Structure 1
Amino acid sequence: MAQKTKWVIDPTHTEIGFKVKHMMFTNVSGKIDKYTATVETDGDDFANAVISFSGEANSVSTGSAERDKHLLSADFFDVEKFPTLEFRATSFTKVDEDNFELKGDLTMHGVTKQVTLEVESAGLMKDPWGNIKAAFSIKGKINRKDWGLTWNAALETGGVLVSEEVRIVAEVQLIKQ
């Protein structure tokens, strides 16, 4: 049996983000600026990794102070009641040489639901200071209404202001401990 290896996020080379359609035709991007994550693997093999992530809901940022204030309000994240976003992996399965399927429980706005994310591995690399790094691109889609994030506004031309579909996009670099 391989030795257990612990990995932590390299925050200077990681971005946890999302994209949502605005007015049904423009993508608005945002990110979570404050988070922690831990990953535990058998040696350097990420198949069946144990993964946990916790993000501070009040660190959601979209580049617009007015929009961010609205997102943090009771209309969306309601950070006073629900200060954290949590993800706990239930499986991390190798699909092929560079790709994995990540399933887990996402808790947001007081609701926990299972999500499935696609993960592409860029492999392992040693940096100039001798640290072993692993890099992954993560993507997936959720329906925000499944977590009780239901606020919206109708458009005069039909449709809605904010899409129900939220695309999760993350670039993650881990450091072997």
Structure 2
Amino acid sequence: MNLNVDVESLNSSHAERDKHILSGDFLSASEYPQASFASTDFEPTSEDQGKLTGDLTLHGVTQEVTLDVTHIGGGEDPWGNYRQGFEGSTTLELADYGIDMSQFPEVMHEVELYVVLEGIRQ
């Protein structure tokens, strides 16, 4: 699975905060407009859970990450397609991606990456 995200699509429901997060203080979205994830391995841990490993590129830096994932459900939709839903999360150290938070010592230095994904069988 490969996933690309337009960094400027960030929306925290607070325009000024979004502007600051997208600035050079944090994500430098004008310099690094895309974030991506390319899966490299999946290890089931139970019937509906597993560990998805892959390469996450953020802020121009690629690091291997492992997300704990859960199968939410699946089935046929009203249009005759078959869909599956998943959610997953992992914790990222911002410094690992070249995001220097030293000028903001009172701010968190790690974030939780939470992803919800729905796919249609092709």
Q: TM-score, normalised by structure 1?
A: 0.65
User: For residues 85-142 of structure 1, what are the alpha-carbon distances to aligned partners after superposition, in whole Å with 9 as ceiling and x for unaligned?
Assistant: 0111111121111011001111111111111100101243111221100011111111
Return the offset for 1:63: 1.0
Aligned to 1:166: 111
| SS of 1:103 mapped into structure 2 | strand
Aligned to 2:98: 148
Letter in 2 for 1:118: D
Letter in 2 for 1:153: F
| SS of 1:153 mapped into structure 2 | coil
Structure 2 residue aligned with 1:79, among 29, 36, 53?
29
1:1-177 aligned at under 5 Å gives the runs 51-151=1-101, 152-154=103-105, 160=106, 162-177=107-122
Letter in 1 for 2:86: F
Runs of 4+ in 1 over 3 A off after TM superposition: none
Question: Larger relative contact order (C-alpha < 8 A, sep ≥ 6)?
Answer: 1
CA RMSD of aligned residues (A): 1.3
Identity of aligned residues (%): 36
Higher strand share: 1
Aligned to 1:24: none
User: For residues 39-65 of structure 1, what are the alpha-carbon distances to aligned partners after superposition, in whole Å with 9 as ceiling and x for unaligned?
Assistant: xxxxxxxxxxxx101001111111111
Q: TM-score, normalised by structure 2?
A: 0.92
